[in-house]
Amino acid sequence: MSIEIDILNGDASWSIAEPLHSAVWPRHRVEKQPWGHILWADADLRVLIETPEDGLVCHVGIYFRTISWNGRKVHVGGIGGVCTREDRRGRGYATMAIDAAVHTMRANEAVRFALLFCEPHNVEFYEARNWHAFTGDVYCEQPEGRIRFDHMAPFVFDIARAPRLGTIDLCGLPW
């Protein structure tokens, strides 16, 4: 079966990604989550995996941001909105899409490491793919101001060596 992997501008491709997002994270389910009230950043780029039979089956958002780590500015790549159509899981689509996202970040020489936030039930999924827990503190912006972001677990991926400890300020909305 042929598959197509595209990396598109985040805003321009939102209309393609939105139906899959809504199916995986319907509003009534999101509202019940501890992170349901969080305002998220929009992706800069999106990895979209499509098949001729099924259309869009998998999505990964890519974010580029200058954050601070222990008060020092550092440019990172973010990953968010990782989702595969429920009836097409376990075929390697998310693994492929995350690989494509990391590959895209590596192409940007300024990016020192990748950073994502996940729910406890997905920790093993990322650990199996060489992501490491960041055990320090994370802060971000929300409409009400700067908050500690402890709604999901931060995970980092070495591009150059990623920090495992310390204080990260996302200097903007989380992803």
Report the interface residues with ligand COA, using CB under 6 A: 24, 58, 82-84, 89-95, 118, 121-122, 124-125
Give the Cα separation of 134 and 118 in Å (integer). Answer: 11
CB of 18 to ligand COA, least distance (A): 15
Q: Which is nearer to ligand COA, 42 or 68 (CB)?
A: 42
CB of 91 to ligand COA, least distance (A): 5
Question: No. of H helices and E strands in the chain?
Answer: 4, 10
CB of 134 to ligand COA, least distance (A): 14
3-state secondary structure of 79: strand
Backbone angles phi, psi at 124, to 5 degrees: -65, -35
CB of 99 to ligand COA, least distance (A): 9
Q: Residue ranges of the alpha helices (H) in the chain?
A: 14-24, 27-30, 93-106, 123-127
CB of 136 to ligand COA, least distance (A): 19
Q: Which is nearer to ligand COA, 34 or 73 (CB)?
A: 34
Give the Cα separation of 3 and 100 in Å (integer). Answer: 13
Q: Which is nearer to ligand COA, 1 or 160 (CB)?
A: 1
E-assigned strand segments in 102-152? 113-118, 132-133, 137-142, 145-148
Q: Which is nearer to ligand COA, 29 or 37 (CB)?
A: 29
Q: Which is nearer to ligand COA, 58 or 74 (CB)?
A: 58
Q: Which of 110, 81, 98 is nearest to 20 (CA)?
A: 81
The token duo for 172 is 């903007």
